[in-house]
Structure 1
Amino acid sequence: MTWNLSGTYLESCNCDSVCPCTTSGMTAPADHERCQVTLAFHVDRGEVDGVDVSDRSVVVFADTPRVMAEGGWQVALYVDGSADDSQADALGKVFSGQVGGPMAALVPLIGEVLGVERVPIEFRNDGRRHTVEVADAIDIAIEDQVAPQFGEDGPVMGLTGMFHPANSTLTIARSTRAVGKGVHGRSWDFTGRNGHAAPFSWAT
């Protein structure tokens, strides 16, 4: 199966600032007892084995041990409710790692799949601001950070050389809203904590 996807990514987690998991290739402990992270992808353009999946979104929620590399992740997958059956199936295969690509590298770390759901997903980008809403379960807004000395129009701070499925370069961001309600028994408010954003481009 051949496929290609490109679009925009955002991430929000419960770490206090720049995530130790990200900057250590998942080998350093997170700031709290467990890492709870939402990975959201909007596909601007994409095709999976002949199926056009452009303008569709996918969100992955993971609840992991403090050191992510230890495995035993509990993961939920949300696929855009506007996708038809063939699109949902194609996206599910890519984002579950069934057909290779960056997400396949995470599969050995997964201990339990909490669920796979098709739900309304709203993903928006507005310059340095990025938001995603997953039905009534997850509501996240992050803002890419700029050093205050440079003013609002200054360069966005970033991380390079990262071992990360979305991109080896990520913005440093902070959530202005990061709320989960009843996500497989989990609710949270991580507002003010760590975030990242990046373009992504995958192909096999």
Structure 2
Amino acid sequence: MPWNLNGTYLESCNCDVVCPCTTSGLTAPADHERCQVTFAFHVESGDVDGVDVSDRSVAVFIDAPQVMAEGGWQVALYVDASADDRQAEALGKVFSGQAGGPMAALTPLIGEVLGVERTPIDYRDDGRRHAARIGDAIDIEIEDQVAPQYGDDGPVMGLTGVFHPVNSTLTIARSTRATGDGVYGRSWDFTGGNGHSAPFAWSA
């Protein structure tokens, strides 16, 4: 099943800035007892086996042990409610790893799928700020960081050469809002914690 996707993503987790998971290839302990992270994706253009999935969004919530490489992740998948049935099925296959590609590399780490939901996803990029609201469950805004000495228009700080399914280069960001409510029995406020953003270009 050939497919390709291009777009942008944001990430928010409960680690401090910058999280040990990202900088160690998932082998260093997270800053807290569990690593809880949300990835939100907006597909700007994409085709999955002949199905156009452009302008649709997807989010993945992960609750993992402190050392993520140990596996046993609990994962929930959220698919844009604006997607029709064919688009939702196609996106579900890609972002669950069933269709190969970067997400497939994570599937051996998954111990439990908490659920798959169709829900409204409002995803926005605004300069250095990136936001995603996933139904009534998750609300995130992150801001890419710039050294104060450079002023507001200075270069965004970043990580390069990282092992990450989205991109090997990520911005260093901090969440200005990061809340969850009733996410499979979990609620949180990670505001001020770690974040990342990046473009992605995937195919298989």
TM norm structure 1: 1.00
Find the aligned partners of 1:92 and 1:42 in 2 and give their Cα distance.
14
> Which residue in the other structure is 1:159 paired with?
159
Counterpart AA for 1:52: D
Q: Distance in 1 between matches of 2:170 and 2:108?
A: 24
1:74-127 Cα deviation digits (max 9, x unpaired): 000000000000000000000000010000000000000000000000000000
- Secondary structure of residue in 1 paired with 2:74: strand
Q: Aligned partners of 1:101, 1:27: CA distance in 2, in Å? A: 22
CA RMSD of aligned residues (A): 0.3
Q: Which amino acid aligns with 1:28?
A: A
CA distance in 1, matches of 2:6, 2:168: 15
* Residue-pair matches, total: 204
- CA deviation profile, 1:20-50 (whole Å, cap 9, x unmatched): 0000000000000000000110000000000
The Cα shift of 1:17 comes to 1.1
Aligned to 1:150: 150
In the alignment, structure 1 residue 180 sits paired with structure 2 residue 173: no
2:127 match: 127
* Structure 1 residue ranges, 4+ long, deviating more than 6 angstroms after superposition: none
The correspondence of residues 52-201 of structure 1 with structure 2, limited to 5 A, is: 52-201=52-201
Gaps of 5+ in 1: none
In structure 2, stretches of 5+ residues that fail to align are: none
Deviations 1:127-149 (A, max 9, x none): 00000000110000000000000
Distance (Å, rounded) in 2 between the aligned partners of 1:132 and 1:19: 20
* SS at structure 2 position matched to 1:21: helix
> Shift of the alpha carbon at 1:16?
1.2
Q: How do residues 16-55 of structure 1 correspond to structure 2 at under 5 angstroms?
A: 16-55=16-55
How far is the alpha carbon of 1:164 from its aligned partner?
0.3
The DSSP-based 3-state class of the residue aligned with 2:179 is strand
